[in-house]
Structure 1
Amino acid sequence: MDSANLESRIDSPNPAERMAAIAELRHCSPGVAVPLLKRRMCDKEFIIRSLVAGGLGRQNTESAFEALITLIEYENDPNVRAEAANSLAKFGECSLPFLLNLFEQDTHWLVRQSILAAVSAFDHSEILLQLCQWGIADDDIFVQQAALAYLADLSGTSSEEGALAVLLPLATVESADIRAQVARSLGYFEHPEAKAALAELQHDKDHYVIGAALERLLLV
């Protein structure tokens, strides 16, 4: 592939041309792709910066990893930060300290949901439990619900008791949305206390919660 041509296109004043060039970089070696991707980290178009973040995630090099950390640190658009977090997770367990710190510092719902999804793919139940606890304390209902949903992944792990310690008290909160998500997550646990709480939720005052409590039974 003509690297000189790619270099010219990636600096094109036409955003569509820049996007096409970034897409082609997936076929290039890291030695070619990473420096060109880094040139567009401050592009005025957020969609291009997002494509850069995705492109860096396909380059398994220290330089690409460091570029993603820099991008996250200085990026103002949450869509780009979320994409960068997803890409960072592709580098494996070395990304976990950075993702944990980002979740703690960045309260945007899209970024936090992206990190929850990324970390759930790792075999680190303690870290996922910590993120879920932070997420449940979030002011955003979507982050709260996502965190409650990922607690279901802790069934059968060393963090199962910790997950239940979070879920069980929330089975009686005022919010029907929260009770419903708690019911869905409890359905994945075989613990007697989880089954008892789920049985109570099947007689909830809200039909939406009852439906959520019965979902797992219908799938078994």
Structure 2
Amino acid sequence: MELSQIKAFLDSPNPQNRMKAIVELRNHTPSVVVPLLKQRMYDKEFVIRSFVAMGLGYKRTNEGFQSLLDLIENDGDPNVKAEAANSLANYGEKATPHLVELFRSEPHWLVRQSIFAVFYEIGSPDLLLQLSKWGLQGEDLVVKLAAISCLGKLRKTPYEPEAVDLLFELSTAETVAIRVQVARVLGSFEDDKAKAILAELRQDTDHRVVGATLEGMI
């Protein structure tokens, strides 16, 4: 698609045309793409704004970085914020403090899951520990389960003892799903305390928890 047609489609009242235009921008340089993407940053359709956020992650410029910061600060839709967080991660270390602050201030599970995924992939144990603590303090079960999973990434790091202590506290949680997740994560630890907690969980009253303790032995 020619650039002139892309520009026309970006101004189309039809959201399908606007979306198609954004996709077509993949064939152009960042210096061309970013100013055009910014034109649709406040589109009334959250899907379009999500596509804009995605594009700003692929076509990286300083201007695009600032635009992503604007999206995570001002957009009210968690889908857009989550996509912006994913794209922001593509900018490397300079994005880290912004992602950490977004996780701290935004309790929505979709946004927090996106940020968990970023740091889980990077493998930053200190940040994973902090994010896990914040996630465990919230009320969302999906986030809590992800936080427990991230604690498993701290095995064989200087933060392993603190991770085991947190898992110990969670091993008696009333919610079965939490105890199941704790059992699964503990299966990868070789720490004596972790093994003792796992042995206790093998006596759990719920068969799902007991089954989870055996998964690592199969």
Say whether the fold is shared (TM-score over 0.5).
Answer: yes
Secondary structure at the residue paired with 1:60?
Answer: coil
Q: Are the equivalent residues in 1 in contact too, given 2:31–2:61 (CA < 8 A)? A: no
RMSD value over aligned CA atoms? 1.1
User: Who is 2:85 aligned against?
Assistant: 85
User: Who is 1:65 aligned against?
Assistant: 65
Secondary structure at the residue paired with 2:148?
Answer: helix
Report the TM-score, using the length of structure 2 for normalisation. Answer: 0.96
User: Who is 1:163 aligned against?
Assistant: 163
Q: Are the equivalent residues in 2 in contact too, given 1:176–1:206 (CA < 8 A)? A: yes
1:173 deviates by: 2.1
User: Who is 2:44 aligned against?
Assistant: 44
Q: Are the equivalent residues in 2 in contact too, given 1:89–1:119 (CA < 8 A)? A: no
Deviation track 1:94-121 (CA, whole Å, cap 9, x = no partner) reads 1110011001111111111111111112
User: Who is 1:17 aligned against?
Assistant: 17
Q: Distance in 1 between matches of 2:156 and 2:11?
A: 51
Q: Which runs of 4+ in 1 moved over 4 A?
A: none
Query: What is the total number of aligned residue pairs between the two structures?
Result: 218
Q: Distance in 1 between matches of 2:22 and 2:8?
A: 12
Are 1:116 and 2:116 matched, yes or no? yes
Counterpart amino acid of residue 10 in structure 2: I
1:34 deviates by: 0.5
Q: Are the equivalent residues in 2 in contact too, given 1:56–1:87 (CA < 8 A)? A: yes
Are 1:180 and 2:177 matched, yes or no? no
Q: Are the equivalent residues in 1 in contact too, given 2:132–2:147 (CA < 8 A)? A: yes
Q: Are the equivalent residues in 1 in contact too, given 2:65–2:88 (CA < 8 A)? A: yes
Q: Are the equivalent residues in 2 in contact too, given 1:202–1:209 (CA < 8 A)? A: yes
Counterpart amino acid of residue 144 in structure 1: K
1:156 deviates by: 1.3
1:79 deviates by: 0.7
Secondary structure at the residue paired with 2:25?
Answer: helix
Question: Which runs of 5 or more residues in structure 2 are unaligned?
Answer: none
Secondary structure at the residue paired with 1:158?
Answer: coil
Report the TM-score, using the length of structure 1 for normalisation. Answer: 0.95
Are 1:34 and 2:29 matched, yes or no? no
Q: Are the equivalent residues in 1 in contact too, given 2:201–2:209 (CA < 8 A)? A: yes
Secondary structure at the residue paired with 2:130?
Answer: helix
Counterpart amino acid of residue 155 in structure 2: S
User: Who is 2:195 aligned against?
Assistant: 195
Q: Distance in 1 between matches of 2:110 and 2:96?
A: 18
